Structure 1
Amino acid sequence: MSASRLVIFYALFAGLSILANIGFQKLSVMAYSGAFSVPLSVFVGTGVGLVVKFALDKVWIFRYRHRDLSHGVRSFLLYTVMGLATTAIFWGFEFGADAIYHSEPARLMGGVVGLVIGYVVKYRLDKKFVFA
C-alpha cells in the first residue's frame, strides 16, 4: 500500500474507532447515569474502540495473519499493552477537559483530541512491536 493510501485508511479507521468509542460512551451514560457513570462510560468506550481498531488495523493496515489462535491472542494482548500509553494520553485529555470545563461536550472533545494524538503514537508502536 502506498504511503498516501496508508495515511488515508489509517485516518479513516481511527475515525471509525473514535466514533465507536465516543458513541459507546454516550450510550453508556444514557444507560446508566449514577455514581461513576463517566469513568465507566470512558472504560466501555475504550474497550469497544480497542477491539474495532485492532480488527481494522490487523486486516487492512498491516495485512497481518495469525498462525493460530494463541498467536492471535498474544497479538491482541501486545496490541493492548501498546495501547496503554496511548490510552493514558487519551484519558488525560478527556478527563482534563472534563475537570477544566465541567461539560459533556468539552469532555468528549478532549477525548477526540486525545484519541487523535494517541493514534499517531500507536501506529508507530504497532508497526514496530505488534505487527512486525
Structure 2
Amino acid sequence: MDPGEIDMQNRDPSSINAHVQVGFEDVIAEPDGVHSPQCVWKLAHTCFTCARDISYTLLALCYGVPYAFFWGCEFAYLSFLHIWVITPCISMYMVWLKSIKIIYGACVRTCCDPCFEACGRCFSDIRVTKA
C-alpha cells in the first residue's frame, strides 16, 4: 500500500481505540434468571444498533472534519514545539549540565577528597572481632 494511501477497511491499525466497546452485547446484558421476552430483546438490539449507527454518522458528518482539522493543527503545533523549542532547550541544558558537572567535580575533589582520604587513613586500621 502507498504510504499516502489510507486503509478504508482497517481504520484502527494500531488499536488505539480498542477499549471503546460499542456493541449491544458489550453494553447491555441480561444475567441468567432474568430474561426479557425474545421479541423485546431483538427489538432492543435493533433499536440500539440503529440509534448508535445513525447518531455516530450524524456526529461524524457534523464534527468529524472540524475536529480532524483541530487535532491536525494541535499535533502540528506539538511537533513544532518539540522540533524548534523543547529539543534545542534540552540540548542547551545538557551542555550547561556538562559544564556544571566539571566545575562541581573539581570543587568536590579539591575540598572533600582530602578530608575523605584522611578519614579513610584514620579508620583503615580498625579491626572488628567477635568478643
TM-score (norm 1): 0.28
| Rg (Cα) greater in structure | 2
Query: Which of the pair has the greater relative contact order for Cα pairs under 8 Å at 6+ separation?
Result: 1
Give the structure-2-normalised TM-score: 0.29
Structure with the larger helix share: 1
